[in-house]
Amino acid sequence: MSFPITLADTAIVVPFGQKVTGSSANLKNPFRTGMRVTEIRFRITSMNGTDTAIISAVAGLRCRFNVGKIPISDYVHLWNFDKVIDSTYVFNPALSGTTYALSNGGIDIIAVWRPITPIYVPQGGFLEPQFFNTGENSGTGSFTVNIIYLAYPTKELPRSVTYPWICSWVGDSVLLNADATDQSDRTDLRNPFDEPIKVKKLIFRNWHNSLAYETSATLQWALLRLTDHNGLAIVRDRTPIGVVVNHTDFSWNLSGTIAPNGYWIARLDELFSNINQSVNWRPYLSLVGEREVRL
């Protein structure tokens, strides 16, 4: 019987504008066999304890993962890998889907990534995280990050492995008082490999600088269209983002394919004159997929 263990690298300081890699001494595969990582947890210390500042922290910090020379994600914001929960594990439904009340007054927030297929790390291998503090919404402060892997040993010696691939698009910051159009670039929601990516999930998040106007109004008036690089429609008609994604976790489980070296294009028509509030808003969209890699 295999028992899970935890591997942790704590107190990783990520200054503004810099990239910092987690410690191989702490996160390297300790077994004499391969291992599978079933869950990755991020614990983030924000600059102060307000809800808005903590959400800004999650919205300003990215991470990229590699297993050896195999990339398994682009630089993706922590809340776009999977789920975000607060340090009390309590979601306050009175607030919106991306705002989590810290009822204990703490300043930590936890983002959790549970890969669809547990990540294979060979004997002596290292699932390497590299953090990037963009400061997009949080200014020039530093963040302290703890990263924890839940893993178990495996005796398998696969010739090919299913690895994740996660990529994302961050839209422009706009005011909720005028109409605008925003579109991803071919380098955002992309497949940089020579084999197809099987897309499993689309995740939507949105940052704002006021808790009052982030709820159903923006989900109603931000209209999404999604196509592949050949113009094939995935979301054909302009559809409110709140209809495209599940209203409980703001994701959409789908079955699609990004062709080798292909990409998808997301277009948002933001009809925010209907909201008419002087509040900043920014969309985040990620694609979670998988590909087969020969070892």
- List the chain domain ranges: 5-157, 162-294
Give residue 271's pLDDT.
Answer: 95
Is residue 197 within 8 A of residue 291, CB to CB? The reply is: yes
Residues forming beta bridges with residue 206, ordered by sequence position: 283
Among 81-85, 101-105, 283-287, the minimum mean pLDDT is found in: 101-105
Give residue 140's pLDDT.
Answer: 64
Query: How many whole angstroms separate alpha carbon 269 and alpha carbon 28?
Result: 44
pLDDT tens string 27-54? 999 999 999 999 999 887 654 444 455 5
**pTM over the 0.85 mark:** yes
pLDDT tens string 109-161? 568 899 999 999 999 999 999 999 887 765 667 778 889 999 999 999 999 99
Q: 94 pLDDT band (50/70/90 cuts)?
A: very low
Residues 6+ apart with CB under 8 A from 93: none
- The answer, yes or no, to whether residue 251 has pLDDT greater than 50, is yes
Q: Identify the DSSP state of 259.
A: P
pLDDT tens string 267-293? 999 999 998 888 888 899 999 999 999
Among 14-28, 102-116, 127-141, 240-254, the minimum mean pLDDT is found in: 102-116
Q: Do domains 5-157 and 162-294 have the same CATH topology?
A: yes
State the CATH architecture for 5-157: Sandwich (2.60)
Is residue 40 within 8 A of residue 166, CB to CB? The reply is: no
User: What is the mean predicted confidence (pLDDT) over 257-269?
Assistant: 96
Among 84-98, 145-159, 198-212, 277-291, the minimum mean pLDDT is found in: 84-98
Query: How many whole angstroms separate alpha carbon 233 and alpha carbon 249?
Result: 24
How do beta strands 233-240 and 179-183 pair?
unpaired
CATH 2.60.120 is the classification of domain 162-294: yes
Is residue 83 within 8 A of residue 100, CB to CB? The reply is: no
